[in-house]
Structure 1
Amino acid sequence: MSNSITRALIGAALLSASFAHHAFAETTLNALFMAQAAYSEADVRAMTDAFTKANPDIKVNLEFVPYEGLHDKTVLAQGSGGGYDVVLFDVIWPAEYASNNVLVDISSRVTDEMKKGVLPGAWTTVQYDGKYYGMPWILDTKYLFYNKEILEKAGITAPPKTWDELAEQAKVIKDKGLLQTPIAWSWAQAEAAICDYTTLVSAYGGEFLKDGKPAFQSDGGLDALNYMVTSYKSGLTNPNSKEFLEEDVRKVFENGEAAFALNWTYMYNLANSGKDSKVTGKVGVVPAPGVAGKSEVSAVNGSMGLGVTSVSKHPDEAWKYIVHMTSQDTQNQYAKLSLPIWASSYEDPAVTQGQEELIGAAKLGLAAMYPRPTTPKYQELSTALQQAIQEALLGQASPEEALQSAAENSGL
């Protein structure tokens, strides 16, 4: 065999070996998700399986943590030099993450098709300073859930349209001996309480910041906390609300122990058809109420996005995974615990069927979503407000004093 043929054969063998190696070379992505509310862990695993089936050269390691651990896990992993390629982030974090180079600016990757197809309100979830730091994924706000059977027994023909009406209806239910404490809230000293407070701030037309300085200690911000304290002291609110997170509220409502509850989208189908629910078929949902003369409905922006971290060694594959997870096809398949970010999905029978009531509430609630303040110092501000809410509920300070103290401790 001539040398040239031998060289050619060896070259071909090496080339085919390199192709074989390339074909089976696996990129591993590490992705961080949340283990509560919105999409279930099973949903996220199923979505990811569909992605890895279509992209066999990419493996995705999934990690789930409670919401309360999501921010710190993301930030600590950045410092360790390893960590995650894809992270789930809350609407309140892009300012901090952009300022500290936690997430990659993906503005150039967002297509015109994405910009046109996604609901405008969803984009606020991932934007800071005019740039995009991910794709919106969980489009969410808090709704008022009610137990249809209890309202019927109380002779109430329609759910409340204002927060004052909510208190009046709860009093009727209590006075008739149907429930001792008809309302459940998520008022633990955590971000959950800030979401309930923001919903009320939006109803009362309040502002968090004015010219970058705290403005919540007067007007609508003060009205919101006054409402919470009045509801708590009236005996209409479950006293354990001051320790409840969203999952606690869901369990209380599903046990038939609350006539009214403020919670995220995911509770609707779990409470209305879940195997552990005692209120199956009795769950009503409307947008969170408004305030006469100030608002028709109220809503907090509780949306979340998926972003590529600045330490990722595989940003292209990470983005490819995010595009799959946020695609209209994927979201339409899993629309029972979280509603799609795509405008045209709301006309799709596959999405709306069996949850027409929720979709009706969503069209109003999602259009009224009120943002928590956009500031790189959000964590300090939130912590100060969480403390103020607890102090006011426990009677350790008046709402005015508690909010004044929060303003001073907010770092702004």
Structure 2
Amino acid sequence: MNRFFKGAACGLALMVHQSLPASAADVTLNAIFMKQAAYSEDDTKAMAKAFEDANPGTKVNLEFVPYEALHDKIVAAQGAGASGYDVVLFDVIWPAEFATKGFLMDVTSRVQAADKDKIFDGAWTTVNYDGKTWGMPWILDTKYLFYNEDMLKQAGIAAPPKTFEELAEQAKIIKDKGIAKYPVVWSWSQAEALICDYTSMVGGAKGSFIKDGKLNFDTGGSVEAVSYMKKTLDDGITNPNSREYLEEDVRKVFSAGEAAFALNWTYMYNMANDPKESKVAGKVGIVPAPGFKGKAAASAVNGSMGLGISAGSKHADEAWKFITFMTSQATQNKYAKLSLPIWKSSYEDAAVTKGQEKLIDAAKVSLDVMFARPTTPSYPELSSILQKNIQQVLLGQAPTDDALKAATKAAGRLR
């Protein structure tokens, strides 16, 4: 008798289980993030673990790839169905393409109206396109000018440069005094990193990427920016290896005490001040990237990124719950040492500002002047055109005017 009831109970439980719809208790979210810059892999894993703990039974499968591979991995995953991604990290330059091609879900109706005014406008531009919202901003970032305080003191320089012209002048003093062979290091490899530095300078020259309603790169601020880049190489103040460097290379060179100045993202500040990672810990200064004399007081590129739901996700509700957790003020405030929060009031929170007051001071200026790279559904192709032509100038293979005219002509053929 007992065996009968025991067997019947097991059978009933099995039937009930088989008849129940899938729930959050048996959902696995596949999410793709990048390896370098902003939040570290360990921080991202800790955030995901905290989400899983708060949502029992929901698992988050994280994949980390280099930034340079992120775009193509997301594109390749489209149409992969159950084996694709639910949550994707996307750059500010991709929503036009991803929205146009149907890669992301429109989440306009999911965004809490109360949050809109609490988050920086520059952060929202990361996820907005064509009047709709395609995700939540997660990384609010721009490039700052880092400097070695000891090197400036040795050179008799009282304060860091306020213009790009002053940067070149101070770098020459440091070079002439034998303090650093190549005082300035940049990420000018033929990659998106190059376009970020270039864009910051174009903004610092009050330039524009549009002329007569069309993409244009051979006038005004664009010419001034590339001419400046080439001149710093010709004058021997820029490390020539910058033409092969990405952001992590810049961090390592600066942290090794081999450069007086570097342009890089937020994450470098705390890493360069970490004795385990850096020989210049405690000697790292940071200010907004400068502008060109008489043009702008500061410059900044919008390097922000957002989290969105892949159009092919079968778990949109769970994916959005994960995204809102990752972008929440509580989560961002807890992990504010490598990436600053998107929330305005966080900058008045002692837990966020303590130990990085100089960074916060710089951020309050830079986040208000972030200049955007060109907005176009053909951005990857456009970026490749710019990378190639600017690199030709930096390598001495083409004059600035010729290369930028070629870039403008090629851009005109894009869809």
Q: TM-score, normalised by structure 2?
A: 0.94
Indicate conservation of the 8 Å contact 1:38/1:338, yes or no.
Answer: yes
Q: Which residue of 2 aligns with 1:32?
A: 32
1:17 to partner: Cα distance: 4.8
Match of 2:49 in 1: 49
Deviation by residue 1:25-68 (Cα, 9 ceiling, x = unmatched): 41011000000000000000000000000111211100000000
Inter-partner Cα distance in structure 1 for 2:9 and 2:234: 86
- 1:370-402 Cα offsets, whole Å, 9 max, x none, are 000110011111101001111001111111001
Structure 2: distance between partners of 1:18 and 1:364: 58
Find the residue that maps to 1:404 and give its secondary structure.
helix
**2:56 maps to amino acid:** P
- Letter in structure 1 aligned against 2:73: K
Equivalent position of 2:314 in the other structure: 313
In the alignment, structure 1 residue 73 sits paired with structure 2 residue 73: yes
Which runs of no fewer than 5 residues in structure 1 stay unpaired?
2-7
CA–CA distance in structure 2, aligned partners of residues 79 and 362 of structure 1: 39
Distance 1:22 1:90, change over 3 A: closer
Letter of the 1:29 counterpart: L
1:355 is the counterpart of 2:356: yes
Quick one: distance in 2 between partners of 1:305 and 1:274?
Answer: 31
Distance 2:300 2:324 in 1: 27
Compared with structure 1, are the counterparts of its residues 22 and 303 closer, same or farther at alpha carbon in structure 2 (3 Å cutoff)?
closer
Question: Offset at 1:79?
Answer: 3.4
Whole-Å Cα distance in 2 between the matches of residues 114 and 9 of structure 1?
49
Q: Which residue number in structure 1 is paired with residue 304 of structure 2?
A: 303
Match of 2:280, SS state, is: coil
**Partner Cα separation in structure 2 for residue 393 and residue 253 of structure 1:** 21
Give the Cα separation in 2 of the matches to 1:408 and 1:177. 43
How much has 1:276 moved relative to structure 2? 2.3
Partner of 1:283: 284
Cα deviation, residue 347, structure 1: 0.2
Cα distance in structure 2, aligned partners of 1:22 and 1:303: 35
* Structure 2 residues without counterparts, runs of 5 or longer: 2-7
Report if aligned partners of 1:208, 1:216 keep a CA contact under 8 Å in 2. yes
Deviation string for 1:258-280 (max 9, x for gaps)?
00000000000000124120000
The answer (yes or no) to whether the contact 1:203–1:298 under 8 Å persists in 2 is yes
- Residue equivalent to 2:4: none
- State whether residues 103 and 133 of structure 1, in contact with CA within 8 Å, keep that contact through their aligned partners in structure 2: yes
Please list the CA deviations of residues 253-310 of structure 1 after superposition, one character each: whole Å capped at 9, or x if unmatched.
Answer: 0000000000000000000124120000000000000122110000000000000000
**Is the alpha carbon distance of 1:71 and 1:23 closer, same or farther for their aligned partners in structure 2, counting shifts above 3 Å?**
closer
**Partner in structure 2 of residue 396 of structure 1:** 397
Amino acid at match of 1:76: A
Matches within 5 A, 1:92-241: 92-241=93-242
Matches within 5 A, 1:259-270: 259-270=260-271
Q: Percent identity?
A: 64
| SS class of match (1:330) | helix
What's the RMSD between the two structures over aligned residues?
Answer: 2.0
1:21/1:395 Cα in 2 relative to 1: closer, same or farther (>3 Å)? Answer: closer
Q: Give the direction of change, closer, same or farther, for the CA distance of 1:24–1:339 in structure 2 (3 Å limit).
A: closer
1:88 matches 2:89: yes
TM-score (normalised: structure 1): 0.95
Alpha-carbon distance between aligned partners in 2 of 1:121 and 1:22, rounded to the nearest angstrom: 38
| Per-residue Cα deviation, 1:199-227 (whole angstroms, up to 9, x for no partner) | 10001111112354222211111111000
Q: Deviations over 1:97-124 (max 9, x none)?
A: 0000000010000011221211111100
Give the letter for the 1:386 counterpart: Q
SS in 2 for 1:29: strand
Match of 2:378 in 1: 377
- CA 1:294–1:318 in structure 2 vs 1: closer, same or farther (change >3 Å)? same
CA contact 1:206–1:216 (8 Å) conserved in 2: no
- Residue 4 of structure 1 is matched in structure 2 by none
Q: Which amino acid aligns with 1:63?
A: E
The 1-side partners of 2:254 and 2:10 are apart by 71
SS in 1 for 2:144: strand
Query: Residue 294 of structure 1 aligns to a residue in which SS?
Result: coil
Q: Residues of 2 paired with 1:206 and 1:406: CA distance?
A: 16
Aligned residue type for 2:340: L
Contact 1:144 1:263 in 2 (8 A): yes
Residue 152 of structure 1 deviates from its aligned partner by 0.5
SS of match in other structure, 2:68: helix
1:80: Cα distance to partner? 3.0
2:5 corresponds in structure 1 to: none
CA gap of 1:341–1:234, structure 2 versus 1, over 3 A, is same
CA 1:244–1:292 in structure 2 vs 1: closer, same or farther (change >3 Å)? same
Partners of 1:21 and 1:126 in 2: how far apart?
33
Counterpart Cα distance in 1 of 2:76 and 2:290 = 39
Q: 2:244 is aligned with what amino acid? A: E
Contact 1:189 1:386 in 2 (8 A): yes
Shift in Å at residue 10 of structure 1?
9.8
Deviation readout 1:1-33 (Å, 9 max, x if unpaired)? 9xxxxxx98998578656999778410110000
Q: Deviations over 1:171-196 (max 9, x none)?
A: 00011110110000000000000000
Alignment length (residue pairs):
407
